[in-house]
Amino acid sequence: MRLHALLLPCALLSAADRYPVPPVPADLIAPAQAALTATGLASVVLRPGTGPRPGPEDLVTVEYTLWGPDGKVVDSTARHDGPFTRPLPRLMKGMAEGLQLMRSGEQRRFWIPPALGRPTGTLVLEMELVETAPSPFKAPADVAGPGEGARVLSSGLAIRILKEGKGPHPTYKSRVQVHYTGWTTDGRMFDSSWKTGQPAAFALDQVIRGWTEAIPLLSPGAKARLWVPEKLAYRGEKGMPAGMLVFDVELVDIL
C-alpha cells in the first residue's frame, strides 16, 4: 500500500486496500496434522476464538477466501467489501459444517472435498467467524404479543429496540434497505429477506403503515421487534396474512 494511503480515512480507501485478498496458501492439499471430520472435511486452526459456536440454524457473520485446486481465487469477501452475514443453512455444505466447529473470533483453513463443495476438486477455504446470532427464521418467545421492554405507541403499534444504531434517522419518505422476518402471532413465518440473504430496498411511503411509522424511529444498524396491528398491516389484502403481525427488522442503510 502507498504510504499516503495510510493517512486517508477508511471510507476513502478502496475495498482492495481495506479488505486485501490473502495470499494463496502453500498447502493446497491438507497437511497430515489437519483435523478430519467423518465427512472428509479437513481443517487447521490459524487463530483460536473465544466466543460461542453457531448452531445449525444460526446467523453467522464471516470473512473468507476460497481457492480452487489450482490456487486461483474462486471467491472472497475482500471482493465484496468485507464480511457478509447469512443464515448458516444457506451456505455451501463444507462452509456450514466448518463454521459449526468454530468459535466467534476464530480463524481456520479448511480443505473441502468435492462432496461438500464442488465436483471439480478439493477447495481451500480460509475463514474467520466474526460473530454469530440466533436464527432469523425462529419465532421469538414473545411472538404472541408485546413482550417486556416494548413500547406501545398511540397508533397501537408496539416496538422494542433490540440493538441501537448510529447516525441519522430516515424520514417517512426515505428509501431504505432493511433485513426483516415476519411472523403471525402463532409463530408461523410468512416472509423473510434472509431467504436470499439480500436486504429489501423500498420507499417508506410505499409499505404497510406500521413500517412507515416504525422505521423512522431507527438509525442505521439498529434492530427492532415490531407488533403491527392489522389496521397498520395488510388490512385484509388478498393473499396476505390477517391479524396482528410481528417483524424483526434491521435498518441496514438509508439510500
Choose, from 27, 70, 172, 190, the residue flagged as catalytic.
190
Q: Is 188 helix (H, G, I), strand (E, B) or coil?
A: coil
Catalytic, out of 142, 191, 202, 253: 191
Q: What is d(CA 150, CA 118) in angstroms, rounded to the nearest whole number? A: 46
Q: Is 159 assigned a catalytic role?
A: no
In eight-state DSSP terms, residue 17 is H
Whole-number Cα distances in Å, 76 to 91, 132, 236: 14, 19, 45
3-state helix, strand, coil in the chain (%, to 5): 20, 35, 50
Name residue, grid cell 439498529.
222
**For residue 253, which of 58, 104, 134, 81 has the smallest C-alpha distance?**
81
List of E strands, 102-144? 107-112, 123-133
Active-site residue, selected from the candidate residues 84, 137, 202, 234: 234
Q: Catalytic residue at 247?
A: yes
Annotation marks residue 234 as catalytic: yes
Which of 208, 215, 248, 254 is catalytic? The answer is: 208
Phi, psi (5° rounding) for residue 120? -80, -5
Distance of alpha carbon 96 from alpha carbon 48, whole angstroms:
18
Catalytic residue among 19, 180, 248, 254: 180
Q: Is 208 a catalytic residue?
A: yes
Q: Is 180 a catalytic residue?
A: yes
**E strand or H helix at 228, and its extent?**
strand 223-228
Q: Could you say which of 19, 247, 248, 254 is catalytic?
A: 247
Q: Please, what is the Cα angle at 76 between 74 and 79, to 5 degrees? A: 110
Q: Which residues are catalytic?
A: 180, 190-191, 208, 234, 247
